[in-house]
Chains A and B, each alone.
Chain A
Amino acid sequence: MTDMTKPVVAPPGSIVSGDLMQLLYRLSAALLICIILALLNDSFLSLGNILNVLRQTSLLFFIASGLTLVVLTAGLDLSVGANVALSACLAGTVIQHTGSPLLGVLTGLLAGGIVGLLNGVMVTALRIPSFIATYGMLWVLNGLTYWYMAGETIHGFPPGFRQIGSGYLFGLPIPVYLLLIFLAIGTAFAQRTIWGQEIYAVGANPVAARLSGIPVARRLLLVYGVSGTMAGLASIIFLARLNSAEADIGESLTLPAIAAVLIGGTSLFGGVGTVFGTFIGALILTLVLNGMNLLSVNANWQPFITGVIVIVAVWLDMTTRRHKL
């Protein structure tokens, strides 16, 4: 995947190019898991469980979709989980003190976005490698959140606000609508806008991108800002779904988000990948847990099985794509 011959623009996984087969290839691992689970357990294919899995996928997808743009530029954002924790705690405080869900949502998005922009500034203006900059940010955010929360838990939000996480509209959970909306926006942005294409170009070859007149620093600032804002959105969904937040909620979110991006076929070396692929990655991770719960797999074996399935899923994806190309 590191080959020098990869196209500067035109990502190979583009689903809006209309290539249905390509989409099926990308889905193959997820479909295989679904077929196996459907054969093993009657409840798996029920409408209730499908909606359940999609709702569970949403939180991970929000974090991972913003992160996808960062990885497309050959960067990484390790601070997303810590960002979710801080944004959730701040948004939760605002909702409890003002009673206004709207102010809370704005606080969460703003806090997440500011953190993201700060990451962007470190990467562009200060030229700190993104891995280090966001790793440092992770600790700064953890420190702030631990200090701010002092071991407390914020809990109890107005029912109206909690609808964002647990409500239904025409039979579909509201987080699933948000998932579909952001999947569409993310895909359209990355594949159909000039800014999106420029992001691919920056990741594929930053020097060529700069020489061809792309404002590299501004595009980088944009992707880190978007990644942070999506973490802020995830924090709102977290609050609305869990009705509470504490300082340590982020730690278990970062690695799965990175995994979802990479399982979805986005290259760590930049320039290759899609938001839709990331959705599939998040879906696979969620399906595995869902399946293990439904089948009552012994807790001792769950980490092992998760690991094996992740490896097989990526191998399958790579093989089918190689076959296609």
Chain B
Amino acid sequence: MKPNKGLICIALPLVLSATFAATARADGETVAVFTKNQTNPFFQTVRVGADLAAKTLNAKTLHYIPTKPDSIPEQLSQVEDVVVKKPDAVVFTPVDYKAMVPGVEKINDAKIPTVNITDRSAGGKFIAFVGADDYNLGLDTGRYLFKALGGKGSVVIIEGVKGSLTSVDRVRGFNDAIKENPGVKLLASQPGNYQRLQALQVMENLMQSNSQIDGVLAANDAMAVGAIEALDGANRKAQVIGINGTKEAVDAVKSGKLLATGDYNGFAQGCIGTMIAIRTLRNQPVVTEIVLKPTIITKDNYQPFDVALDARTCPTWDEAAKFATK
């Protein structure tokens, strides 16, 4: 669809409805949206954002979600499905940024325009990448915590799934924020695997060997809230930060239990990724990379995040284009 842009610009809707009459609806393009799982609230926000963007632009979404969370073989077979069904465009989150490259190449071979969101794929061709910067999320939420602690104190890190891109980058950000604050002492950095129960138990254990813990840096919100429950159970106090900006974390920020959560902007990623896909099909100008700036949700600014997901609105294209990094 790359050559003769001027011609296709006018003829595109007609061509599309003629070429894809069997699969695509005449009244709107179909965008296949790939997310990692049904269980993480983050991907729910991505899907709601994608649906809303598509609805606003009069297009349709079709969701592909592995029934076994983050399953590589299952996402691969869903890719094969999509190659046969040929939707007009794909918005793609790889369950594994390396292992899914062959899958991306299959979509490329089928000549379906694809936007990469959330985790940057290690290979394959994409129209654009839309994501958040895990490293800067870790760095900025860490900095916010240390500012609240007055630049000193003893802290612990609760890491996510070992070897996952998000956890590695977030924890690297945490550690760099610690290095900026010579008064902050890192007591321990232990794995919670993004799981609530494991984070609770890690925190309970760390409290046994450390009589004073001033701050907790958790690589996601579920673990941050798990750590808070452990602190509450032991009648101890510490400032806790999480990452993702889930509804539960926003509630905890509102009630003062959680100091802050770094917004991973799933909703905006879903919105903008889908908008880029549809705009490409309609031959409207797009940008090739958007890395959303980290927003730290605190008790001072939580209000806009304290609304039901489906009541939120996608950014306009002009607003989204301002985030362009390439």
Note whether A and B form a binding pair.
yes
Asked whether any CB of chain B lies closer than 8 Å to the CB of A318, the reply is: no
- Minimum CB–CB distance from B255 to chain A (whole Å) comes to 9
**Contact: B209 with A56, CB < 8 Å?**
no
* Complex CA–CA separation, A244 to B190 (angstroms): 22
Q: Tell me how many residues of A have a C-beta within 8 Å of chain B.
A: 44
**Contact: B205 with A289, CB < 8 Å?**
yes
- Minimum CB–CB distance from B285 to chain A (whole Å) comes to 33
- The 8 Å CB contact of B209, one of A247, A253, A294, is A294
Query: Contacts A251-B69, A252-B197 hold; do A152 and B205 have CB atoms under 8 A apart?
Result: no
**Contact: B225 with A155, CB < 8 Å?**
yes
Asked whether any CB of chain A lies closer than 8 Å to the CB of B11, the reply is: no
Query: Contacts A156-B251, A242-B197, A247-B39 hold; do A296 and B190 have CB atoms under 8 A apart?
Result: yes
Q: Chain A 219-251, CB within 8 Å of chain B: the 1/0 string?
A: 000000000000000000010011110111101
CB-CB under 8 A from B205, the residues of chain A are 49, 52, 289-290, 293-294
Interface SS of A by simple majority: helix
Asked whether any CB of chain A lies closer than 8 Å to the CB of B232, the reply is: yes
Asked whether any CB of chain B lies closer than 8 Å to the CB of A158, the reply is: no
> For A49, A243, A290, which residue has the most chain B Cβ atoms within 10 angstroms?
A243
Asked whether any CB of chain B lies closer than 8 Å to the CB of A59, the reply is: yes
**Contact: B208 with A52, CB < 8 Å?**
yes
Q: Chain A 153-166, CB within 8 Å of chain B: the 1/0 string?
A: 10110000000001
Query: Contacts A59-B197, A249-B196, A299-B189 hold; do A151 and B39 have CB atoms under 8 A apart?
Result: yes
Asked whether any CB of chain A lies closer than 8 Å to the CB of B17, the reply is: no
* Complex CA–CA separation, A142 to B45 (angstroms): 20
Asked whether any CB of chain A lies closer than 8 Å to the CB of B226, the reply is: yes
Q: Which residue of B lies closest to A299 (CB)?
A: B191
* Complex CA–CA separation, A27 to B206 (angstroms): 26
Q: Give chain B interface residues in 234-256, CB to chain A under 8 Å.
A: 246-248, 251
* Complex CA–CA separation, A150 to B37 (angstroms): 11
Query: Contacts A166-B232, A299-B190 hold; do A153 and B208 have CB atoms under 8 A apart?
Result: no
Q: Chain B 146-174, CB within 8 Å of chain A: the 1/0 string?
A: 00000000000001001000000000000
**Contact: A246 with B196, CB < 8 Å?**
yes
- Minimum CB–CB distance from A299 to chain B (whole Å) comes to 4
Asked whether any CB of chain A lies closer than 8 Å to the CB of B54, the reply is: no
CB-CB under 8 A from B190, the residues of chain A are 292-293, 296, 299
CB-CB under 8 A from A294, the residues of chain B are 205-206, 208-209
* Complex CA–CA separation, A198 to B186 (angstroms): 55
Asked whether any CB of chain B lies closer than 8 Å to the CB of A41, the reply is: yes
**Contact: B38 with A146, CB < 8 Å?**
yes
**Contact: B208 with A242, CB < 8 Å?**
no
Asked whether any CB of chain A lies closer than 8 Å to the CB of B233, the reply is: yes
Asked whether any CB of chain A lies closer than 8 Å to the CB of B278, the reply is: no
Q: Tell me how many residues of B have a C-beta within 8 Å of chain A.
A: 41
For the A-B complex, the count of residue pairs with Cβ-Cβ distances under 8 Å equals: 111
* Complex CA–CA separation, A308 to B258 (angstroms): 37
CB-CB under 8 A from B13, the residues of chain A are none
**Contact: B204 with A243, CB < 8 Å?**
no
Asked whether any CB of chain B lies closer than 8 Å to the CB of A143, the reply is: yes
**Contact: B247 with A152, CB < 8 Å?**
yes
CB-CB under 8 A from B248, the residues of chain A are 153, 155, 244
CB-CB under 8 A from A300, the residues of chain B are 162
**Contact: B222 with A246, CB < 8 Å?**
yes
**Contact: B44 with A248, CB < 8 Å?**
no
Asked whether any CB of chain A lies closer than 8 Å to the CB of B64, the reply is: no
Q: Chain A 242-271, CB within 8 Å of chain B: the 1/0 string?
A: 111011110111000000000000000000
CB-CB under 8 A from B37, the residues of chain A are 248
- Minimum CB–CB distance from B89 to chain A (whole Å) comes to 23
- Minimum CB–CB distance from A48 to chain B (whole Å) comes to 6
> For A56, A59, A241, A253, which residue has the most chain B Cβ atoms within 10 angstroms?
A241
Query: Contacts A43-B208, A299-B189 hold; do A153 and B201 have CB atoms under 8 A apart?
Result: no
Asked whether any CB of chain A lies closer than 8 Å to the CB of B272, the reply is: no
- Minimum CB–CB distance from A124 to chain B (whole Å) comes to 28
* Complex CA–CA separation, A220 to B40 (angstroms): 36
Q: Give chain A interface residues in 28-79, CB to chain B under 8 Å.
A: 41, 43-44, 46, 48-49, 52, 55-56, 59
Q: Which residue of A lies closest to B233 (CB)?
A: A166
CB-CB under 8 A from A100, the residues of chain B are none
- Minimum CB–CB distance from B7 to chain A (whole Å) comes to 43
Asked whether any CB of chain A lies closer than 8 Å to the CB of B78, the reply is: no
* Complex CA–CA separation, A166 to B248 (angstroms): 20
Asked whether any CB of chain B lies closer than 8 Å to the CB of A319, the reply is: no
**Contact: A299 with B162, CB < 8 Å?**
yes
Asked whether any CB of chain A lies closer than 8 Å to the CB of B41, the reply is: yes
CB-CB under 8 A from B44, the residues of chain A are 150-152
Jot down 5 A-B pairs with beta carbons below 8 A, ordered by A. A41-B209, A52-B204, A246-B39, A246-B41, A290-B201
Given contacts A166-B229, A246-B196, A293-B209, 7 further A-B contacts (CB under 8 A): A44-B208, A166-B233, A241-B200, A241-B233, A244-B225, A244-B248, A296-B188
The list of the 10 closest CB pairs from A to B, nearest first, reads: A151-B44, A248-B39, A293-B205, A299-B191, A146-B38, A166-B233, A43-B209, A49-B208, A296-B188, A247-B39
